[in-house]
């Protein structure tokens, strides 16, 4: 027997592929995840070939029923994937030959693996992006629920992790709603990019067969065929777009995770995590560690790594196809899984933590968090420039600090020693609730604003 090469291109080759590369280079372990899209694409391609009379109806039906059989085998876990056939496309093609014989050889008319794999992959990422959008909607709903229950929970708003101004805990949570809304928009923008149908550009130049790309476009729920066959083969923007969107989403999650880890420390003590979402130590019997939050925070590293891997692969790569690109799928699958699970875990966390409202309030009252309110008050009452009011306030803060008193422990007498024009009314300024109430400017933390905003978000979700 002469030819040892079992690949579809075997006829051209004198030697089998090197064993080590057959093992390492095969992508089937990864890309088998595309089987639904691959078979759907092949069915639609066959339907088009039949419609265009490129193959006859009988043959077309035979191919389609063979493909459906394979799909059923895979779904039922009865399909045997084989590294020898490299990837999902060739595994399915080989099996099709076994099932329907040489008519399987008609399937690859007017198609290359190059356009086939991109079609599969775009369909997959579109599906995945939609799933993430759905999951983000769920997450937002949970944030809104938690917010609705915490409108009047007063916490210290931080800048530089120092107490800055009193805010509503709901207002803090709604900041994340804004972030996740942007994340959704990013995935939605990506979906727009995924509506171009690659099928039919063949290897890189188009095909001589009289194919109908509008037909496959419609059947595969794309919106229009791609304009340039070379770009179609070379383009992986849709891959980096996905990985980037996942990275930013991961950044948002990491920021909340970080802050909750800090708030969960014995020193802060602002939140309490249910046993379901903490983990113990193998040696320290008292420990309850926020492992899940740390897990979420750490995963950002992977999200970045995946994005950077793909960008590196693409940099300086000539057109059109190179094997370098093969890693795109593993990177996307990993980032997708991670994003999805991170959101699920976050939902879990939202349901399994409680707020120590008393401690929050107490901490919010430390650090002279109403100093800006005081300066604002002085501007209005004393009719001085803000910079002047700022200086008067700074003096009062410095005094209170030396005396180790909170603002609300100062007497009007002490205040008058620093600024005689102030009167008793000033003391109301030090009330945290008043402070929050007064932040009525659009986007501010006033309780009224928050209620309206929660309603607004709820309507948007409908």
Shortest Cβ 367–a copy of itself spacing (Å): 4
Residues 104-143, interacting with a copy of itself (CB under 8 A)? 104-114, 116
Q: Does residue 112 have an active-site annotation?
A: no
Per-residue contact string for residues 411-430; x = within reach of a copy of itself by CB under 8 A: --------------------
Q: Which two tokens stand for residue 381?
A: 């009452």
What share of residues in the chain are helix, strand, coil (percent, to 5)?
A: 65, 5, 30
- Nearest CB to a copy of itself, comparing residues 77 and 159: 159
- Classify 289 as helix, strand or coil: strand
Residues 24-83, interacting with a copy of itself (CB under 8 A)? 24-25
Q: Which two tokens stand for residue 125?
A: 């990422």
Residues 162-181, interacting with a copy of itself (CB under 8 A)? 162-167, 171-172, 174-179
Q: For helices 57-75 and 35-51, what crossing angle results, to 10°? A: 170
Number of residues that bind a copy of itself (CB under 8 A): 198
d(CA 14, CA 3): 6
Choose among 247, 289, 209: nearest CA to 132: 247
155 near a copy of itself, judged by CB under 8 A = no
- Nearest CB to a copy of itself, comparing residues 76 and 160: 160
The upper half-sphere exposure of residue 381, i.e. CA atoms within 13 Å in the direction of its Cβ, equals: 17
Among the listed ranges 39-47, 122-130, 292-300, 415-423, the one in contact with a copy of itself (CB under 8 A) is: 292-300
- Nearest CB to a copy of itself, comparing residues 72 and 182: 182
Q: Where are the alpha helices (DSSP H) in 315-430?
A: 328-351, 357-364, 371-382, 386-402, 412-418
Active-site residue, selected from the candidate residues 160, 282, 354, 441: 160
Q: Does residue 281 have an active-site annotation?
A: yes
402 near a copy of itself, judged by CB under 8 A = no
Per-residue contact string for residues 327-346; x = within reach of a copy of itself by CB under 8 A: x---x---------x--xx-
DSSP 159-213: ETTEEEEEEEHHHHHHHHHHHHHHHHHHHHHHHHHTTEE-TT-TTTT--SS---H
Interface residue with a copy of itself among 2, 80, 323, 413 (CB under 8 A) is 323
Shortest Cβ 364–a copy of itself spacing (Å): 10
Q: Tell me the catalytic residues.
A: 160, 281
């Amino acid at each position: 027997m002469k030819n040892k090469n079992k690949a579809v291109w075997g006829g051209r080759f004198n030697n089998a592929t090197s064993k080590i590369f057959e093992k390492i280079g095969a992508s089937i372990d990864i890309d088998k995840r595309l089987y639904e899209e691959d078979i759907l694409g092949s069915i639609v391609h066959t339907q088009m070939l039949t419609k265009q009379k490129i193959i006859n109806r009988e043959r077309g039906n035979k191919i389609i029923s063979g493909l459906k059989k394979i799909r059923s085998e895979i779904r039922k876990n009865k399909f045997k994937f084989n590294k020898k056939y490299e990837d999902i496309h060739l595994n399915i093609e080989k099996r099709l030959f076994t099932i329907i014989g040489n008519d399987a050889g008609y399937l690859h008319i007017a198609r290359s693996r190059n356009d086939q794999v991109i079609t599969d992959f775009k369909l997959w990422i579109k599906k995945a992006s939609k799933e993430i959008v759905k999951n983000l909607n769920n997450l937002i709903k949970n944030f809104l629920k938690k917010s609705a229950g915490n409108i009047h929970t007063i916490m210290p708003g931080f800048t530089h992790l120092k107490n800055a101004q009193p805010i509503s805990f709901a207002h803090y949570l709604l900041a994340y709603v804004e972030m996740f809304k942007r994340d959704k928009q990013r995935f939605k923008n990506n979906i727009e990019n995924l509506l171009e149908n690659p099928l039919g550009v063949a290897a890189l130049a188009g095909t001589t067969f009289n194919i109908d790309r509008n037909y496959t476009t419609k059947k595969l729920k794309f919106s229009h065929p791609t304009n340039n066959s070379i770009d179609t083969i070379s383009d992986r923007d849709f891959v980096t777009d996905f990985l980037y969107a996942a990275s930013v989403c991961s950044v948002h999650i990491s920021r909340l995770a970080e802050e909750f880890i800090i708030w969960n420390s014995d020193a802060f003590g602002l939140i309490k995590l249910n046993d379901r979402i903490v983990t113990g130590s193998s040696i320290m019997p008292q420990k309850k560690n926020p492992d899940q939050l740390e897990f979420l925070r750490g995963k950002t590293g992977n999200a970045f790594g995946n994005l950077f891997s793909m960008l590196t692969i693409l940099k300086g790569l000539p057109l059109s196809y190179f094997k370098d690109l093969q890693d795109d799928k593993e990177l996307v699958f990993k980032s997708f899984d991670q994003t999805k699970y991170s959101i699920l875990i976050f939902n879990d966390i939202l349901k399994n933590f409680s707020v120590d409202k008393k401690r929050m309030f107490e901490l919010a009252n430390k650090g002279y968090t109403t100093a800006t309110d005081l300066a604002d008050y002085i501007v209005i009452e004393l009719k001085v420039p803000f910079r002047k009011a700022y200086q008067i306030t700074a003096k009062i803060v410095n005094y209170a600090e030396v005396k180790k008193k909170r603002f609300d422990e100062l007497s009007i007498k002490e205040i008058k020693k620093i600024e005689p024009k102030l009167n008793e009314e000033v003391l109301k300024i030090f009330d945290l609730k008043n402070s929050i109430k007064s932040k009525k400017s659009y986007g501010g933390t006033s309780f009224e604003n928050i209620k309206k905003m929660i309603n607004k978000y709820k309507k948007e979700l409908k």
